[in-house]
């Protein structure tokens, strides 16, 4: 099935970079009428009926999240766009912000009107400074054209939009840590409750949504929530952007209709990844960014019961984290049989140890411990007991931290060992082979029958 392009329809069109070009392509066409003829509640109902789920990783229904906003509070309300995108393997939000900045701004206008925000923010990760400049230029254009500012189109609604750079911390992808950073403090996650919808930015009711989620809202309002819900396979409605990388011929950002493309097709079709980059067979796939469980190829393309998997939240989750995974943020890594899974996991563990804020003891101590054990195994100096110890440490971290970073560090460890334990044992039993610097591209380690 060829790509169904909605969000990416004009991604390769240079006209989409400027406000006038975006308008010529149909952008901003409904903003004035929405502000003058629609009520915030009607927009919220359209988003609810669309079934749009948050595209940042958790997949929580967007309209339901908006409905949690404390409407009884007399404090200002805020919409914060999470453009931190720090999940390894995920780069689809960058694609939108870089190539379609006005698409995001249009989404911010409509979404902010729906929740009653008069000042909203786009939080951009520290490494995306060039994108911050792109967004600032686009926002200046929107102010000059009257889409932002005071009494927009005579609607009586004032709206300001600001861009805020992060400091390059993975933890600020977590919504409460992001809010801490936006307020000028160190990005440490907050204990919940209260949730941001009740007490978020500056202690005010706040909604935090990811770039892709907000960019989809104008399309939902244009076609109607029910029509959008007809795209995909309920409850995975609409389209989803996938950042594909690794040992594939065609790395890039792809837009899929959820539930209509099989995992097998996504890996091998010329419309998507295009198969292996070097002719070697695929070995494993991480489907939703580095924090979700890895799956061997056979379990990625089919469930444990032999049913072909589709690219959707529900299909990939079938089997739980024993034989399934999560679509997450859509950051898809593909590894061929030259990949050493121990080295791969060690690399991930180093990242999570480095990015832990240190606030929670299980995460602070556990990530450091797991990194040391994996370094020892990868150096050919490990013991068989280290393998079970890694699993035990991951269990002690999972579910015992303020934010999901602990889970993000634990799930890859548990799944790598669950599905590729023979490789970890090989590192212990044949240390002389492991110490060969070329062992990761040597003949594949055979899986026991």
Give residue-wise pLDDT tens across range 55-97.
987 888 998 999 999 888 899 999 999 999 989 999 999 999 9
Q: What distance in Å separates the CA atoms of residue 385 and residue 318, rounded to the nearest whole number?
A: 31
Condensed to tens digits (0 to 9), the pLDDT of residues 331-353 reads: 999 999 999 999 999 999 999 99
Alpha-carbon distances of 166 from 17, 86, 158, 264, 351, rounded to whole Å: 23, 11, 26, 37, 18
Phi, psi angles (nearest 5°) of residue 412: -60, -35
Contact of 51 with 238, CB cutoff 8 Å:
yes
Dihedral sign for Cα 226, 234, 218, 174, please: positive
Query: Given this model, what pLDDT does residue 72 score?
Result: 86
Instruction: Report residue 111 as tokens.
Output: 């979404």
Report how far residue 218's alpha carbon sits from residue 23's, in angstroms, rounded to the nearest whole number. Answer: 14
- pLDDT given at position 442: 47
Nearest-angstrom CA–CA distance, 30 and 42: 15
Q: Residue 446: pLDDT above 90?
A: no
Assess whether pLDDT exceeds 70 at residue 135.
yes
Give the number of other Cβ atoms within 10 Å of residue 80's Cβ.
23
Q: Vertex 71, ends 67 and 72: CA angle to 5°?
A: 145
Beta strand 294-296 with 331-336 is unpaired
Write out the H or E segment, with its range, that includes residue 285.
strand 282-286
Pairing of strands 160-165, 119-124: parallel
418-432 per-position pLDDT tens digit: 999 999 999 999 887
Instruction: Give me the percent of the chain exceeding a pLDDT of 70.
Output: 96
Residue 1: pLDDT band with limits 50, 70, 90: low
Q: What is the mean pLDDT of the chain?
A: 93
Classify the C-alpha dihedral 179-112-165-240 as positive or negative.
Answer: positive
pLDDT of 366 reads: 96
Going from the C-alpha of 405 to that of each of 277, 345, 351, 363, the distances in angstroms are 32, 16, 11, 8
Which residue segments constitute the domains of the chain, with CATH numbers given? 14-229 (3.40.50.11540), 233-336 (3.10.20.600), 341-441 (1.20.1440.230)
Strand partners for 244 = 252, 332
């Amino acid at each position: 099935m060829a790509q169904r392009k909605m969000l990416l329809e004009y991604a390769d069109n240079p006209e989409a970079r400027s406000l006038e070009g975006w308008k010529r392509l149909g952008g901003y066409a409904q903003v004035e009428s929405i502000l003058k003829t629609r009520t915030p509640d009607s927009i919220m109902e359209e988003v609810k009926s669309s079934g749009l789920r948050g595209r940042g990783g958790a997949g929580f229904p967007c309209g339901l999240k908006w409905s949690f906003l404390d409407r009884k509070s007399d404090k200002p309300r805020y919409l914060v766009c999470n453009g931190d995108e720090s999940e390894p393997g995920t780069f689809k939000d960058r694609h939108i912000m870089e190539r379609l900045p006005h698409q995001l701004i249009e989404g911010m206008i409509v979404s902010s009107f729906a929740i009653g925000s008069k000042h909203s923010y786009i939080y951009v990760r520290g490494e995306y400074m060039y994108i911050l400049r792109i967004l600032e230029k686009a926002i200046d254009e929107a102010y000059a054209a009257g889409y932002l500012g005071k009494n927009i189109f005579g609607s009586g609604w004032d709206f300001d939009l600001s861009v805020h750079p992060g400091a390059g911390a993975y933890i600020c992808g977590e919504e409460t840590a992001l809010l801490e950073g936006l307020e000028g403090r160190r990005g440490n996650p907050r204990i919940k409750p209260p949730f941001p919808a009740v007490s978020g930015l500056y202690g005010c009711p706040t909604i935090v949504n990811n770039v892709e989620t907000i960019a989809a809202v104008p399309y939902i309002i244009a076609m109607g929530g029910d029509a959008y819900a007809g795209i995909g396979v309920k409850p995975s409605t609409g389209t989803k952007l996938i950042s594909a990388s690794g040992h594939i011929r065609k790395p890039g950002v792809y837009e899929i209709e959820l539930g209509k493309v099989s995992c097998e097709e996504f890996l091998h079709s010329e419309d998507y990844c295009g198969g292996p980059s070097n002719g070697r067979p695929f070995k494993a796939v991480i489907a939703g960014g580095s924090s979700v469980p890895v799956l061997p190829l056979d379990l990625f393309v089919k469930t444990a019961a032999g049913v072909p998997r589709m690219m959707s939240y529900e299909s990939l989750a079938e089997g739980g984290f024993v034989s399934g995974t999560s679509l997450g943020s859509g950051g898809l890594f593909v590894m061929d049989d030259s990949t050493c899974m121990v080295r791969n996991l060690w690399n991930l563990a180093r990242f999570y140890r480095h990015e832990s804020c240190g606030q929670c003891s299980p995460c602070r101590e556990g990530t450091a411990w797991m990194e040391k054990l994996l370094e020892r195994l990868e150096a050919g100096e490990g013991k068989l007991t280290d393998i079970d110890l890694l699993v035990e440490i991951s269990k002690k971290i999972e579910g015992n931290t303020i934010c999901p970073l602990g889970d993000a560090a634990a799930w890859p460890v548990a799944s790598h060992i669950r599905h590729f334990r023979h490789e970890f044992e090989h590192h212990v039993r044949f240390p002389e082979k492991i110490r060969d610097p070329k062992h990761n591209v040597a003949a594949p380690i055979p899986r026991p029958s």
